Amino acid sequence: MRLFFIKRLMILICLCFALFISCEARIDGSLAADGSASLTVNMSLYTRMAALIQNLFNAAGQQGNVLDSSSVARSMSSAPGIASVTLRNTSPAAISGQVQISQIGDFLSAAAASNEAARGERGFITFERRGTGGRCGINIDRNNGETILALLSPQITDYLNALMAPVVTKEEISKEEYLELITAFYNRNITDEISRSNIRASIDFPGNVTGSAGGTFSGRRAVFTIPLLDLLVLETPIRYEVTWN
């Protein structure tokens, strides 16, 4: 069971931002004026993280890819706001493909879920039209982080609790304190890979971007670099906002 949860953790890290969260992830896409979106995603694990997971699989007699594109696609396809997911393995620890979002404001929205405990909670992405322009915002904190993860993959919450990840436990510890826990649980090499892991997103918006809180922009495009550690710990809320006209 523990090995299964480790694999699901990697899936979770890929997905929690509409997008892929992993040791090394690249998202390129476009957002339409009606709130639909099209994304191209590429994600791969760093060498030591991939080797650690593979060794655990081997010890349990399990076969298959460290990152399983079919499992990731199934998880994403059942999430609110998703129109379609097409993914493939480019290596045992790398995934590439396309994600079509029907409505960005519904993506992982608790209000769209059948889970009674999740109803009434806000999604972490807001989308508003403003005349000929609009606004899109992202907010993840210790109040909504666990709900987002539960909607994405119910099993992952149990594993993240075992890892004492603040995104689930809501414990108010610093990133430095969390890295100390990971070092004790695994080793310094894994801690170093987590510390240098980022999600890089480049998104085209329906009009010229007029502001991008938390990122850079030029013309219709906004670019973001999101540290994985920030997402796991949520020492401070993660907020991004883009406006366009």
pLDDT by residue (tens digit) across 2-61? 444 444 444 444 443 333 333 567 899 999 999 999 999 998 877 766 676 666 666 666
Listed in sequence order, the residues at least 6 apart from 176 whose beta carbon sits closer than 8 Å to its beta carbon are: none
Identify the band that residue 193 occupies on the pLDDT scale cut at 50, 70 and 90: confident
Q: Which of 19-33, 62-76, 86-100, 159-173 has the highest mean pLDDT?
A: 86-100
150: closest CA among 116, 179, 199?
116
Question: What's the domain range around 86?
Answer: 2-244
Burial 43-76 (b: 16+ CB within 10 A, else e): bbbbeebbebbbeebeeeeeeebbbbbebbbebb
CB-based contacts of 139, cutoff 8 Å, min separation 6: 124, 126, 237, 238, 239
Give Cα separations from 124 to 17, 34, 89, 148 (angstroms): 9, 18, 28, 8
pLDDT value for 196: 83
Q: What's the confidence (pLDDT) of residue 155?
A: 45
Q: In the chain, how many domains are there?
A: 1
Mean pLDDT value of segment 143-150: 74
Q: What angle do CA 139, 231, 219 make, to 5 degrees?
A: 55
Distance CA 22, CA 45 (A): 7
- Please say whether the beta carbons of 67 and 93 come within 8 A: yes
